[in-house]
């Protein structure tokens, strides 16, 4: 089949390359000409493990272009994968989606299938359908196909998804989407789930909201564990051994970030309020997350008796999670902003995301070349993202580089007992634990 993916970002590029790998001809369209030029030259504009190789293997089936007209003429199925960022009132900005759909409808010379892969507010497909009727001379089929891939594991998630959700109303759309996804679903015993468009839209928000609730739930428990002397790891193992409670995605940390959870949670709250159904649980998850993003800051500030002026603070990790260069809504952003405002001198290191963070954080901090340069003569080290390369440092060297052997670990990557044995003052999340003599 000939396909087009419009919006060649984290989702669109992976989807385009993934469909090409399944043997389809794919037009990847973006309005960002720099990005398209880079892709035409074989450069990948994002960091995503495995993407470069997969793209190179399928290069002959991929066209990178800014020319949406050519793509509309060539493709039978057009995926819309543009961004839907958060607006000031919390709602998602769907203007890029409508803009692309309008262009497709005006340019199409026959009926097409338009697939909304972007995460769109509940009810968007209905509006898109009305827009298509207004602007197209031919009937357009509107399909919702929300994407569930995780950055950092996007290739695996796309090629072997837990499930694929399709919202559509015609047998033709159902047939075409089944053929497109067969290699990734039915041939791998993965479910391909059909439903109506609105339910598909809601499914995406339900998934992200639920995962956000899980994270905020464990983070809140971890704060209580810190106060009471319980060990959150033991507590988690204990309560998730109940077969009704899935242990995945239940790790305390510095709060969720990224381009999806924060904005999708806000959009769900916004839509629910418009329908007079306040999402109390989801709202609480959002509030808990705002508090959690600043936990390391509050602890460092309390340690220095409320005065961080002139303190050199080292940060390990800037991306919102490991294995990605994405810094959108990264907890590190909030942390650095507060530290700098409190008068600290911040030096940060990230294996990949440093340049992105420098470009988009808009806060004055220094970027180090490697983890040890970062901590040299620092008053404290704050671990924010759990990249593998941070997990096994030579502790003696680390201690010698720091001015003060003080670590605030926002990802629980070290063993508290070992760190104390090695002479560190070590604070983590939900594992402050009582000393031996205080335990009963």
Residues that are catalytic: 260
Q: Tell me: does residue 135 bind ligand NAD (CB under 6 A).
A: no
Pick out residues in 380-439 that bind ligand NAD (CB under 6 A). Answer: none
Chain Cα centroid distance, residue 224: 27
Relative orientation angle of helices 280-292 and 261-274, to the nearest 10 degrees: 150
Residues 33-52 that bind ligand NAD (CB under 6 A): 35
Tell me if 152 contacts ligand NAD by CB under 6 A: no
Considering the complex, what minimum distance in angstroms separates the CB of residue 51 from ligand NAD?
12
Nearer to ligand NAD by C-beta: 31 or 399?
Answer: 31
Binding mask 62-91 for ligand NAD (x = CB under 6 A): -------------------xxxx-------
Q: Does 9 bind ligand NAD (CB under 6 A)?
A: yes
- Give the residue closest to ligand NAD by C-beta: 9
**149 CB neighbour count, 10 Å cutoff:** 20
- Bridge partners (DSSP) listed for residue 144: 116, 167
Indicate whether 203 belongs to the interface with ligand NAD (CB under 6 A).
Answer: no
Q: Report CA-CA distances (Å) from 172 to 142, 175, 179, 327.
A: 11, 5, 11, 40
51 vs 19: CA distance, rounded Å: 13
Per-residue b/e over 201-228, b at no fewer than 16 CB within 10 Å?
bbbbbebbbebbbbbbbbbbbbbebbee
Write down the least CB distance from residue 32 to ligand NAD, Å.
Answer: 4
Contact between 158 and ligand NAD by CB under 6 A: the answer reads no
Is residue 11 within the footprint of ligand NAD (CB under 6 A)? Answer: yes
Give the per-residue contact string, 222-261, with ligand NAD (x = CB under 6 A; - = no): -------------------------------------xx-
**424: Cβ contacts below 8 Å, ≥ 6 apart:** 395, 399, 405, 406, 407
3 state SS of 104: helix
Number of residues interacting with ligand NAD: please give it, by CB under 6 A: 26
By C-beta, is 82 or 140 nearer to ligand NAD?
82
Q: Which is nearer to ligand NAD, 270 or 303 (CB)?
A: 270
Closest CA to 336 of 356, 373, 363, 317: 363
- For tokens 């796309």, the residue is 158
The minimum distance between CB 117 and ligand NAD, in angstroms, equals 6
Write 34-37 long-range contacts (CB < 8 A, 24+).
35/8, 36/8, 36/64, 36/65, 36/66
Nearest distance in Å: CB 149, ligand NAD: 5
Do residues 435 and 235 make contact, with C-beta atoms less than 8 angstroms apart? no
- Closer residue to ligand NAD, CB minimum distance, 63 or 412: 63
Q: Which of 26, 28, 122, 149 binds ligand NAD (CB under 6 A)?
A: 149
If binding is defined by CB under 6 A, does position 147 make contact with ligand NAD? yes
Residues of span 94-133 touching ligand NAD by CB under 6 A = 96, 99-100, 118-119
For ligand NAD, the binding residue among 4, 5, 6, 296 (CB under 6 A) is 6
Strands (DSSP E) found in 81-226? 113-116, 141-144, 164-167, 192-195
Taking the complex as a whole, the smallest distance from the CB of residue 121 to ligand NAD amounts, in Å, to: 10
* Of residues 282 and 313, the one with the C-beta less far from ligand NAD: 282
Which residues, other chains included, contact 361 with Cβ-Cβ below 8 Å and sequence gap of 6+?
318, 327, 332, 333, 336, 337
Name residues contacting ligand NAD, limited to 302-361 (CB under 6 A).
Answer: none
Q: Which is nearer to ligand NAD, 212 or 259 (CB)?
A: 259
- Applying CB under 6 A, which part among 8-16, 227-235, 303-311, 374-382 lies near ligand NAD? 8-16
Return the structure tokens found at 273.
């309020």
What is residue 223's three-state secondary structure? helix
- Site residues, ligand NAD (CB under 6 A): 6-12, 29-32, 35, 81-84, 96, 99-100, 118-119, 147, 149, 151, 259-260
């Amino acid at each position: 089949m000939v396909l087009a993916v419009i919006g060649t970002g984290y989702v669109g590029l992976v989807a385009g390359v993934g469909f090409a790998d399944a043997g389809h001809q794919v037009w990847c369209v973006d309005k960002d000409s720099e990005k398209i030029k880079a892709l035409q030259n074989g450069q990948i504009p994002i960091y995503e493990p495995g993407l470069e190789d997969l793209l190179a293997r399928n290069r002959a089936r991929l066209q990178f272009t800014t020319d949406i007209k050519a793509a509309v003429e060539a493709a039978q199925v057009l995926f819309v994968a543009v961004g839907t960022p958060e607006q000031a009132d919390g709602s998602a900005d769907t203007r890029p989606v409508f803009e692309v759909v309008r262009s497709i409808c005006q340019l199409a010379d026959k009926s097409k299938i338009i697939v909304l892969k972007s995460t769109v507010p509940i009810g968007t497909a209905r509006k898109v359908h009305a827009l298509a009727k207004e602007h197209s001379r031919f009937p357009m089929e509107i399909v919702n196909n929300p994407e569930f891939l995780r950055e950092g594991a996007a290739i695996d998630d796309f090629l072997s998804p837990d499930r694929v959700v399709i919202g559509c109303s015609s047998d033709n759309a159902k047939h075409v989407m089944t053929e497109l996804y067969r290699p990734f679903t039915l041939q791998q015993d993965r479910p391909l789930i059909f439903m109506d468009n609105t339910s598909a839209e809601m499914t995406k928000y339900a998934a992200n909201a639920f995962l956000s609730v899980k994270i905020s739930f464990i983070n809140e428990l971890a704060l209580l564990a810190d106060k009471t002397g319980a060990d959150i790891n033991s507590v988690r193992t204990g309560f998730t051994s109940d077969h009704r409670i899935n242990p995945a995605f239940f790790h305390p940390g510095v709060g969720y970030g990224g381009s999806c959870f924060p904005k999708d949670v806000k959009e769900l709250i916004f839509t629910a309020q418009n329908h007079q159904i306040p999402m109390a649980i989801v709202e609480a998850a959002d509030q808990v997350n705002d508090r959690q993003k600043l936990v390391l800051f509050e602890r460092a500030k309390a340690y220095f008796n409320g005065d961080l002026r002139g303190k050199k603070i080292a940060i390990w990790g800037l991306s919102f999670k490991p294995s990605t260069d994405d810094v959108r809504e990264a907890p590190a952003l909030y942390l650095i902003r507060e530290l700098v405002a409190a008068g600290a001198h911040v030096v940060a290191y990230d294996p990949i995301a440093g340049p992105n963070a420098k470009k988009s954080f808009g806060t004055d901090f220094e970027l180090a070349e490697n983890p040890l340069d970062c901590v040299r003569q620092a008053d404290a080290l704050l671990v924010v993202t759990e990249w593998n390369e941070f997990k096994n440092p030579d502790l003696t060297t680390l201690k010698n580089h720091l001015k003060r052997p003080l670590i605030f670990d926002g990802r629980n990557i070290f063993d508290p007992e070992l760190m104390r044995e090695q002479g560190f003052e070590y604070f983590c999340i939900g594992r402050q634990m009582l000393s031996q003599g205080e335990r009963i």
